[in-house]
Amino acid sequence: MDGIIKYLIGWKNSQKVFGRLEMLIKTYNLVSKDERLSSFKFSPGKRRTGRNPMYCAFAATSFAGEDYFILRLVKRQSDKFSIGFCPDYGKQDKKDDDIKPFRERRKQIEQAIKEVKKENPKILNKVPFPETDAKGRTHAYKGFERKVIKPKTAEDLAEEFIITVLEWQELFKRII
């Protein structure tokens, strides 16, 4: 069994999934087989544990390193998903370190997005610019994102993910 499917099946008893599991599995199957993303590698999403877990379904990248595009559930809104780009996906700085390289890199990327948006606001044709959930604080598991209302079908969600990823890939090639 595919590792990502196995990971997703592990969510079947979670109330936070709100009946979206079947759509996520089908979306992953469609996205991972789509010719437009044939150069991408896929991995299970990282699920932050603890009192406030994250529900990232899967991650995909065409970049070297740990910069991933993700599809995740929006926990508190059962009618939404989030498509995101996570630099250094899931990596967090240690609280007691003076140097915080992951946070600093995310701030630099956020600033670069603002500059590109200001200089060329029409660079993205089909999707909006990615944003942080909390201004000035890019989350290690959410990254820069856009929330989308749950579409009627997995095919529609897969297409939304693919279009977003391809547009953002061109944006982030300029930045990272």
pLDDT digits (tens, 9 = 90+) for 8-58: 998 888 887 878 899 999 999 999 999 999 999 999 988 766 656 668 999
Mean pLDDT of 91-98: 84
Mean pLDDT of 147-169: 97
Number of domains in the chain: 1
Which pTM value belongs to this model?
0.92
- What's the pLDDT score for residue 133? 78
Structural domain span for residue 125: 3-175
Mean pLDDT of 66-76: 91
**Alpha-carbon span 32 to 16, nearest angstrom:** 24
Of the pLDDT bands very low, low, confident and very high (cuts 50, 70, 90), residue 136 is low
DSSP β-ladder status, 41-44 and 131-132? unpaired
**Alpha-carbon span 131 to 123, nearest angstrom:** 15
Of residues 67 and 132, more confidence is placed in 67
Mean pLDDT of 124-153: 88
